């Protein structure tokens, strides 16, 4: 196999490392606008060749291309890929947004495009942080449509199975509702929390960040995630994220109002339900 990764960062690097560790024989090519990332990835044996321009893929002639750049670059990359790839090259991605983006990618690339989203990652970025075991036991959502080529889907699914990931299929728009709620919303909530504390620090001329007790570090870890990646996710999943923020603002307002009215019983019930739900998560 000949695998090209567009975007030589934490996710792309981890994917290649994991495939290598699975015993698969393949040649890896990396495309990245940062020459430094290509250099690092070569030094670590993650890729054998690399280039800053997608055109270089023509000579490499990959059997699979994996997109792992911020999602807002996907359309332009797909257009470039359509010019340099042969018809039988399968294309997949590791992006956090699917929805209409998947249908647009399909329009450009045809049925050989298979949308994918591994539910794994950390707040870290950069190929130097790549982890070979990142996907083991983790869910990977694939979003095939009516147009998806069966062989392309099988190829991508087999690779994830090699990595011991748990593959699930989802309709692209439903995917965005789900992850708008369980992933994009929490990130927005965490970024906003840091902003509020900066604001409140200024107001009293103090540094609230000197007192990060009681789970605060865990709670805000995701606010250290890559800003460009998250800007792109927020914008590409705008509709679902705004809907999720609306639901969330309602929930927060419900709690706020109970506290304002000092409604002991209602508050207790609200907290108990949330705790029970959260504890069930621990068991799963």
**Nearest-approach distance from CB 233 to its own copies, in angstroms:** 10
Minimum Å distance from CB 67 to its own copies? 18
| CB of 92 or CB of 220, closer to its own copies | 220
Whose Cβ is closer to its own copies: residue 147's or residue 256's? 256
Query: Which of 67, 15, 69, 40 is closest to 232 using CA atoms?
Result: 69
Q: Which is nearer to its own copies, 147 or 217 (CB)?
A: 217
State the SS3 of the chain: CEEEEECCCHHHHHHHHHHHHCCCCCEEEEECCCHHHHHHHHHCCCCCEEECCHHHHHHHCCCEEEECCCHHHHHHHHHHHHHHCCCCCEEEECCCCCHHHHHHHHHHHHHHEECEEECCCCCCCCHHHCCCCCCCCCEEEECCCCCCCHHHHHHHHHHHHHCCCEEEECCHHHHHHHHHHHHHHHHHHHHHHHHHHHHHHHHCCCCHHHCCCCCHHHHHHHHHCCHHHHHHHHHHCHHHHHHHHHHHHHHHHHHHHHHHCCCHHHHHHHHHHHHHHHHHHHHC
Least separation in angstroms between CB 49 and its own copies: 31
Q: How far is the CB of 240 from its own copies (least distance, A)?
A: 10
User: What's the Cα-to-Cα distance from 247 to each of 29, 180, 223, 230, rounded to whole Å?
Assistant: 43, 11, 21, 20
Least CB distance to its own copies at residue 172 (A): 15
| Residue (59 or 207) nearer to its own copies, CB | 207
Q: Which is nearer to its own copies, 87 or 218 (CB)?
A: 218
Nearer to its own copies among residue 24 and residue 167 (C-beta): 167
Cβ proximity to its own copies, 56 vs 181, nearer residue = 181
Q: How far is the CB of 76 from its own copies (least distance, A)?
A: 15
The nearer residue to its own copies, 57 or 229, going by C-beta atoms, is 229
Q: How far is the CB of 126 from its own copies (least distance, A)?
A: 13
The distance of closest approach from Cβ of residue 93 to its own copies in the complex, given in angstroms and rounded to an integer, is: 16
CB of 46 closer than 8 Å to CB of 54: no
Q: Residue 115: how many CB atoms within 10 A of its CB?
A: 28
């Amino acid at each position: 196999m000949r695998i090209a990764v567009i975007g030589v960062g934490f996710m792309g690097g981890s994917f290649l490392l994991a495939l290598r560790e699975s015993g698969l024989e393949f040649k890896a090519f990396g495309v990245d606008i940062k020459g430094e990332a290509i250099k690092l990835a070569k030094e670590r044996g993650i890729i054998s060749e690399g280039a800053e321009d997608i055109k270089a893929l023509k000579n490499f002639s990959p059997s699979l291309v994996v997109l792992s750049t911020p999602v807002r670059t996907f359309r332009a990359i797909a257009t470039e890929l359509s010019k340099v790839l042969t018809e039988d090259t399968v294309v997949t991605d590791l992006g956090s947004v699917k929805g209409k983006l998947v249908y647009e990618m399909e329009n450009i690339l045809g049925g050989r495009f298979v949308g994918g989203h591994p539910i794994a990652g950390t707040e870290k970025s950069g190929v130097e942080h790549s982890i070979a075991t990142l996907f083991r036991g983790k869910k990977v959502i694939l979003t095939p449509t009516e147009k998806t080529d069966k062989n392309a889907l099988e190829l991508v699914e087999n690779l994830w199975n090699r990595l011991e990931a748990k593959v699930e299929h989802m309709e692209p728009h439903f995917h965005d509702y789900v992850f708008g709620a369980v992933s994009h919303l929490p990130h927005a909530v965490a970024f906003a929390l840091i902003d509020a504390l900066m604001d409140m620090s200024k107001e009293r001329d103090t540094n609230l960040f000197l007192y990060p007790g009681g789970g605060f570090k865990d709670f805000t870890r995701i606010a250290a995630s890559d800003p460009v990646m998250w800007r792109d996710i927020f914008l590409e999943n705008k509709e679902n994220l705004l809907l999720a923020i609306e639901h969330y603002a309602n929930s927060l307002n419900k709690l706020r109002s109970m506290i304002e009215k000092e409604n002991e019983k209602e508050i207790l019930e609200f907290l108990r339900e949330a705790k029970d739900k959260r504890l069930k998560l621990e068991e799963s």
